[in-house]
Amino acid sequence: MTSVRKTLKFLALAGLALGMTAVALPAAATGTAAGTSITNRATVSYTVGGVAQTVINSSPTGNSTPGAAGGADTAFVVDRLVNYTVTTVDTTAVVGTPGQTLLVTTFLVTNTGNDKEGFALSAANLVGGTVFSGAATNTDTIDMANIKVYYGPDATSAYNAGTATLGNPDNIAQDTGRRVFVIADLPVAAKNGDGANVRLTAKAAVAGSAGATLETATVGADTASAVDVVISAAVASTTAGVTTSLKTSDSGYAVSAPTLTVTKSEAVISDPVNGTTNPKAIPGATVEYTLTITNTGATAANGVAFTDPVATQLTLSQNVYNTNQNVTITAGGTTRYCTAEAGGTDTNSDGCVFAANALGVNPTTPIVIPTGANNTAVIKYRVTIN
Amino acid sequence: MKKFIAVIPLLLASFVASAAPQGSILVKTVAEQEQTVTAADGTRHTVLAPAKAVLPGHAVVYTVTFENVGHEAARDVVVTNPVPEHTNYQSGSAFGPGTELLFSADGGRSFAPPDALEVRGADGSVRAAGPEDYTHIRFVLKNALTPGAVAFARYRTIVK
């Protein structure tokens, strides 16, 4: 052994005071699982009077009993670091129409600590503000209804009613993500361009407690033999000296709807005196009304219907257009006709009727007003002045 | 007469060595963490304290103290520490006054200074060993440990 020592280089040990300098080390994203026991036992060999002695192992309090199997481990348990991220998977607002139900915004909760975690989830409407810019702008103007939170089976699958579970995920392993879905309804009164933003809140909970027991930072000295809880500063939330965790992410919905404007014009077609040459609005004259309905919204209007009051000094004309109809409807480049019966009963069931001093048009074949080139519907009918 | 006296010390020495019921060295290993403590006057100090909230990425400081509790000087004192599982040795952190520092990267079969340590890769190529390859840390006390003397060695590991 002496000869070996002579050939080895001797290190300058003075510079190794480095061991005492504090080094800031970031906690690893994953790492040794919480609860792992890390043990250490040193072995000392020596000679007395030139005679090799039986080795002596270390113990936490000091051991001097020789033996290769002697001594005791110096041990401590790796503690639990609670850390996670919450992000939204949506890159643009989720578009819906007024009254549409079960619209889905998608989030991802990823456990970046070193132990399995459950999460207590909740979602709520935001008030004001903008989450997404771009085509589907959604500055928050309205609230969603019936907000519910579901979680999916993994980190990558889109929402599927068959695999989504309502409630709190109870066991997400370290370094694992899980998709969370916030599902809600758009109110019927929503208008084109309205936006509704929502916020998902996730709090880490002890795995197995169904989200009921929040992870709480251990206060006081470390217990070497038990798993203590440390909450990463990235998610820590302290109230009255008690630290739990909280992280949020926002997403939102945008309303795409038709926007209809109506203009009404009139023209005197004929009168008893002048005929069709410069007719005047005198008793007995025929007047034609034109209703122009224009859709300036973002989606087609389906099933447009209306009632148009007719002054009591006027009488709705019959047998005006086509074969014997009295209302023309031009929409989507085609013209059709219906008959508004004077007696208040829609006897031919075509959806048009004159009742309660108003022309009611609600055709059984719905009027559709799209956006873009053909975004106008024109309705005409005639009356005579009493 | 002189010859008679000269023999006795040798006999006594061997008798003591073989009949020692207890070893001559008390060996203790503690695991601690560096903590920053703020004194009453606002100055901050770094102290070693029992490990508190050990997490992946944290450093643990091991201190081995060895004291000669016997009546004879102990020589060729060698302290060998396995690098604990789930940790990596922190490069440059080992020191022990009056010791020579060696490492093993082959499970304790052979030891060498850090810049002479090599490992063999799976493809048979040989490269210099890095701190994450170390399996053992060894301190060789250069001088004898006399009765009552205490020496210590210290090193840091990082929890994976």
User: pLDDT tens digits for A229-283?
Assistant: 999 999 999 999 999 999 999 999 999 998 999 999 999 999 999 999 999 999 9
Q: Is B24-159 assigned to CATH 3.30.1330.50?
A: no
- Does the pLDDT value for residue A18 go beyond 50? no
Chain B residue with the nearest C-alpha to that of A33:
B56
B98 exposed, middle or buried (CB, 10 Å; 0-12, 13-18, 19+)? Answer: middle
Q: Are A45 and B77 an interchain contact pair (Cβ–Cβ within 8 Å)?
A: yes
CB-nearest partner of B13 from A9, A16, A49 = A49
Minimal C-alpha gap between B122 and chain A (Å): 25
- What is the per-residue pLDDT for B76? 94
- What is the per-residue pLDDT for A226? 80
Mean pLDDT score, A167-194: 95
- What is the per-residue pLDDT for A138? 74
Q: Where does the pLDDT of residue A224 fall: very low under 50, low under 70, confident under 90, or very high at 90 and above?
A: low
- Is the model more confident about A256 or about A134? A256
* pTM of the full structure: 0.74
- Does the pLDDT value for residue A386 go beyond 60? yes
Minimal C-alpha gap between A41 and chain B (Å): 7
CB-nearest partner of B31 from A13, A28, A74 = A74
- B102 vs A: CB within 8 A: yes
- What is the per-residue pLDDT for A225? 72
Model pLDDT for residues A273-320, shown as the tens digit of each residue: 999 999 999 999 999 999 999 999 888 998 899 999 999 999 999 999
Q: Where does the pLDDT of residue A30 fall: very low under 50, low under 70, confident under 90, or very high at 90 and above?
A: low
Q: Where does the pLDDT of residue A150 fall: very low under 50, low under 70, confident under 90, or very high at 90 and above?
A: very high
- A77 vs B: CB within 8 A: yes
- B119 vs A: CB within 8 A: no
Q: According to the 3-state scheme, what is the secondary structure of chain A?
A: CHHHHHHCCCCCCHHHHHHHCCCCCCCCCCCCCCCCEEEECCEEEEEECCEECCCEECECCCECCECCCCCCCEEEECCEEECEEEEECCCCCEEECCCCCCEEEEEEEEECCCCCEEEEEEEEECCCCECCCCCCCCECCCCCEEEEEEECCCCCCCCCCCCCEECCCCCECCCEEEEEEEEEECCCCCCCCCEEEEEEEEEEEECCCCCCCECCCCCCCCCCCCCCEEECCCCEEEECCEEEECEEEEEEEEECCCCEEEEEEEEEEEECCCECCCCCCCCCCEEEEEEEEEECCCCCEEEECEEEECCCCEEECCCCECCCECEEEEECCEEEEECCECCCCCCCCCCEEEECCEEEECCCCCEEECCCCCCEEEEEEEEEEC
SS3 B4: helix
ipTM of the complex: 0.82
- What is the per-residue pLDDT for A135? 64
Enumerate residue ranges in chain B where pLDDT < 50: 1, 4-21
In whole numbers, what is the pLDDT of chain B averaged over residues?
85
- B108 vs A: CB within 8 A: no
Domains contained in chain A, CATH given: 35-78 (no CATH), 81-255 (2.60.40), 260-385 (2.60.40)
